[in-house]
Amino acid sequence: MSDDELLQQFHTEFLQEIVTTADSEEIYTEEALFEVYSPILSDANEFDESIYAHYKPSSGGIRVDGYCGNPLENHGTLGLIVVDLCMEPVVTTITNTEISSIFKRLSNFLKKALLPSFKDGLEETDPGYGLADLIQANWERTKKIKLFLMTNRSMSSRVEDRATEEFNGRPLLYSVWDLSRVYKLISSGQEREKLTVDFRTLPGGPLRALKAFGDDSSVRVFLAALPGMDLALIYNRWGNRLLEQNVRVFLQARSSVNRGIKNTLKYEPEHFFSFNNGITATAERIETEDTPDGTVINVLDNLQIVNGGQTTASIYAAFMGKFPLDRVFVQMKLSIVKPEEAIDLVPRISRCANSQNKVSAADFSSTHPYHVRIEEFSRRIYAPSKEGSFIDSKWYYERVRGQYRDELAYRTPSGKKKFADEYPKAQTFTKTDLAKYLMCWTDKVYYVNRGAQRNFEEFAKDITAQWEEDDQVFTEYYFRCLVAKKIIFDAAQRTVPAREWYESGGYRSQHVSFVVGKIAHDVQKMGKVVDFSSIWSAQKVSDAFIRALEQSADCVHVVLMSPDTGYRNISEWAKQPGCWERIKKTKVDWDPAFVAELKDKAAEKETLHEAAQDQKILNGIEAQEIVWQEGAEFWNDVYNWMIREGEGSDKDRGIVHTAASMTSRKIPSEKQCIYLLNLMKKLHTIGCPYKLKHRSRRDT
């Protein structure tokens, strides 16, 4: 197929996804476009969160569809979003004139939002009021403005890049995400655009570096003194994408370490190189040049700062605060890691680089065993057929964004239909979706309203701790409950817009999370449990459950639309623990039919115990299979290496020796095999050259 034909195919599928989203969630198609684009742009690190706030008066050339959270939480950046939807079945073009006109309406909103009279003329429940109030309240501390256009049209080849402008003394940047750009991002096999740093375009020019590796080294390492201004500009362009491989969650500059960095930058910039530990970084590709003054680095692909996030962000904060950085240099240790080795090696470099601090050793990326196990369940477990249907289907967990489209891409028309029947598009969900569904059932449900990425970070902490304590709790029953929670969440998304008090764009997502959270809290308070098995079996919630969702929605609406003193923006109020506390305290007289459907905790406890036992048996059988597939010779090599290097305890060596001596009649027990697989993970981190060729389905 030609490029044009591939783009047309993508457009057809994408438009269908927008229509399906609008139908299933009972929202307008333009809001559906916003919902479909937002996680893609979030993954591309264009913003951390996107909040739908549609405002378009009948006249006046003004429009806004959303924003990117509070500027105070985004290093002083105000992000505004506008959408452009075309329902034509063929790919249509958007011209430079049209783009300018759309951005003009968005900038007109910004101008109006700064006028007190504009806000005063709106209802307080209007999203336009809340956004205008947020802009006014934070304008003095807003340092940069970025306008985003989301469109399913394709930019004309004559469209030029839009240069940075100025608005009220602040830099104004533009970002256009059209159909072609999204298609290239998804079809490239990456979750985001290529991160390329060209030092030749930065103030410091090509970066002088010292080689710190031998000719036979598998990993090339360089040492460099990176100019502070260059680091600030790199972070200004790429943001947290530079830090995504850092195992430590970035902290705001509140600790004594961060305050020390800030004080050095402000008062003794020339001593920064001496006082600061610098950064540890990796890149997948490097372009160097030998000059009379030594080696210089011209270009780096996929630069990652695996240790030094606080240093980087502090320098950026100094840059935004207009501190002089011309005397600031940062020492950088840079390792060049091949893309195929990055998934394994980069987290190890990160953990070792962070070992001087108390950090979690768990890397909760898409390769973490938790995600792999959920994916394996989703490919194996059939859901009961829905009422009126004879087709058994599955719920598709998209561990890496774009997997579902990749599965469809190279199939024949009949193959695509067969795949879509088995995995309906409406039955797909991503990592951030999963985190959203599950966090609604915790006492930290308000994190869902803080944006997909922040919610996922908090979710990751909790799941990592649970996994390390006992991974047997993540069973097939856990997966069925997860799907049931998605079914409940989806039902809540349909319930909220149907209430008589709901207005278009009226904070639907903020309502929905708390609607589910209120039910979860009150059911637990009753000493009961939702019967997730029944929801799984029916693949829908009951009429009584729908009535409970309606009751919960009415309760949530009252609290959400009457924020505490100091919170005038509804979206910001929905992020606060105080909002959740008021919702929890509000009494609801739950429908008796709904209460009658709930399970006793004792019965649920027995179900969980049986599921864990089943999972333990499954893990043991699988581990035994892997140990056998590796073969006695492999385990003999591992055993000899442990003796030679003095690694492992007597118990470790004894169990490895048992595997090295196995025959078809004598195989290590299931418990020993699980021990062996965990031991190999430990040995690998300390340099064992022997790696498992066969892996659990959960680790692949």
H or E stretch including 264?
helix 256-267
Spell out the SS3 assignment of 238-257: HHHHHHCCCCCCCCCCCCHH
| Rounded CA separation 240/460 (Å) | 17
Contact 302, 316 (CB under 8 A): no
Contact 28, 504 (CB under 8 A): yes
Residue corresponding to tokens 């598998």: 218
At 362 the pLDDT is 34
Distance of CA 224 to the CA centre of its chain: 31
Encoded amino acid at 145, one letter: I
Contact 67, 79 (CB under 8 A): yes
| Rounded CA separation 655/626 (Å) | 15
Could you give the dihedral angle defined by the CA atoms of residues 209, 215, 216 and 222, in that order, rounded to the nearest 10 degrees?
A: 0
Q: Output DSSP code: residue 20.
A: H
Residue corresponding to tokens 């024949």: 412
The answer, as to whether pTM is greater than 0.75, is no
Contact 176, 110 (CB under 8 A): no
| Structure tokens given for 686 | 């300390």
Contact 473, 612 (CB under 8 A): yes
Burial of 561 from C-beta contacts in 10 A (0-12 / 13-18 / 19+): middle
Angle at 447 between CA 399 and CA 541, to 5 degrees: 70
Contact 369, 471 (CB under 8 A): yes
Sequence-ordered strand ranges (E) for 516-614: 528-529, 599-600
Contact 643, 653 (CB under 8 A): yes
With H, G, I as helix, E, B as strand and everything else as coil, classify residue 231.
helix
If we measure between CA atoms, which residue out of 189, 102, 184, 188 comes closest to residue 147?
Answer: 102
If we measure between CA atoms, which residue out of 148, 113, 128, 130 comes closest to residue 34?
Answer: 148
Burial of 391 from C-beta contacts in 10 A (0-12 / 13-18 / 19+): exposed
Contact 516, 539 (CB under 8 A): no
| Rounded CA separation 383/149 (Å) | 39
Q: Output DSSP code: residue 499.
A: S
Encoded amino acid at 153, one letter: R
Maximum Cα interatomic distance, the chain, rounded to a whole number of Å:
85
Could you give the dihedral angle defined by the CA atoms of residues 546, 551, 555 and 560, in that order, rounded to the nearest 10 degrees?
A: 30
| Structure tokens given for 160 | 């030029």
| Rounded CA separation 516/531 (Å) | 14
Mean pLDDT of each 10-residue bin along the chain, 700 residues long: 84 90 87 91 81 87 92 86 96 93 95 91 86 92 93 80 81 92 72 75 94 79 94 83 50 46 78 84 91 93 82 83 88 82 55 45 63 88 77 88 75 86 91 95 95 88 88 87 96 93 82 97 94 92 97 96 87 94 97 94 73 64 83 93 90 92 82 84 84 60
Burial of 540 from C-beta contacts in 10 A (0-12 / 13-18 / 19+): middle
| Rounded CA separation 210/230 (Å) | 18
H or E stretch including 484?
helix 476-495
